Structure 1
Amino acid sequence: MKPVNFHDTESYEPDDGWRRVSMAGSDQFSFEWFEKPSGHSSPMHDHENEQVCICLQGELTVATKDDSVTLGQYDSVLLESDEPHRVENTGDELAIGLDVFAPGRSFDFWTDREDE
């Protein structure tokens, strides 16, 4: 067993108010908790990992090139490998979510990413 204390684990803030926290994971899967302020959107991006995005609080809109879905509390969406997407807080309050990646990915995905 490898417990992870939320307040002691690796975290980063790629933009003001957009914070990500590395949770328990392995090479097979990884979890990243995140919070986004109202109006914040990640850039359109893709990755080799499948992703499940779960909205824990607030409202998140997940958009691909062809579609979009708005998630409320406890709703989720599956994004396939290499599917371009972005995640935006379209609500009026802080949104909190959990991303699950398979296979697991390194936590430096955003910090080492070059702008497209």
Structure 2
Amino acid sequence: MQTMAPADGETVEVVEGVHLTQLAAGDRMNVQHFHIEPGAKVPEHSHEHEQTGFVARGTLTFLCEGNEQVIQSGESYVLESEEPHAAENRTDEPVDGVDVFSPPRTDPDWAE
């Protein structure tokens, strides 16, 4: 078994106020921590990876094909492969959570 603490990963501010940390990665999936500051926005994008996530703290609003979906602390979500999506923290509190990607997204565009 392999383990990884959040402090072992490199945290990258991919857009203003959006911080991502690559965590454990296996052959078929990987885990990523996200921290999104109040007012920060993840621009619309898509990727080949299926993405499941869990919001541990705060409220995150997803925008998918013109529809809004609010995810509260304690809730989870699934984004299909190639599904265009954006996300916004419209609150005054930070949002923290984890995403799991399959296949592994260990070398995302934002890491460059």
Secondary structure, aligned partner of 1:52: strand
Report the RMSD for the aligned CA atoms in angstroms: 1.4
Provide the C-alpha distance between the structure 2 equivalents of 1:5 and 1:32, rounded to a whole number of angstroms: 11
Contact 1:53–1:99 under 8 Å retained in 2: yes
1:6 aligns with 2:6: yes
2:36 maps to amino acid: K
1:91 maps to amino acid: T
Contact 2:37–2:93 under 8 Å retained in 1: yes
Runs (4+) of structure 1 exceeding 6 A deviation are none
1:60 maps to amino acid: L
Q: Figure out how many residues of one structure are paired with residues of the other and give that number.
A: 112
Higher strand share: 2
TM-score normalised according to structure 1 size: 0.88
Residue 74 of structure 1: how far off its partner (Å): 1.2
Q: Which runs of 5+ in 1 are unaligned?
A: none
Instruction: Give the structure 2 partner of residue 30 of structure 1.
Output: 30
1:64-103 equivalences in 2 (<5 Å): 64-103=64-103
Secondary structure, aligned partner of 1:62: strand
TM-score normalised according to structure 2 size: 0.91
Q: Which runs of 5+ in 2 are unaligned?
A: none
Secondary structure, aligned partner of 2:56: strand
